Structure 1
Amino acid sequence: MRTPAAPPRRDTTARHGGRLKRRVVVAIAAKLVLLTFLYLMFFSPSHRPRIDDAAVDRHLIPTR
């Protein structure tokens, strides 16, 4: 009697590699969104003070 042949093994590395790639892409995209949000909330030009020459002179050379 012959033993039945084992079914061919599926290559699961390609499937897991696709999942890993998707997770990495999603994580990087989420980080970019978070960094953009933080920049807009705290470091954008609208949050910077206006500095002119007269203000610098008053600060560096105080009058008595």
Structure 2
Amino acid sequence: ADLYKGAQLIRRGRPKADSRKQLLSVRYSPEVIGYFRATGPGWQSRMDEALKEWIKARAV
């Protein structure tokens, strides 16, 4: 349901990100998945950061 404060529409929820992530299906070895899952909640974000660091280290 929309929420209004006077005539102004109040948006609910989290604001949309400037840069959205893209959904992708990728196969990883059980060792890689096991390692990152063992780090606890947020493991997918840590995997994303590790891949970004790998890219940065090899930037041309």
Give the alignment's TM-score, normalised by structure 2: 0.31
Q: Which has the higher helix share?
A: 1
Max Rg structure: 1
Tell which has more relative contact order, 1 or 2 (C-alpha 8 A, sep 6+).
Answer: 2
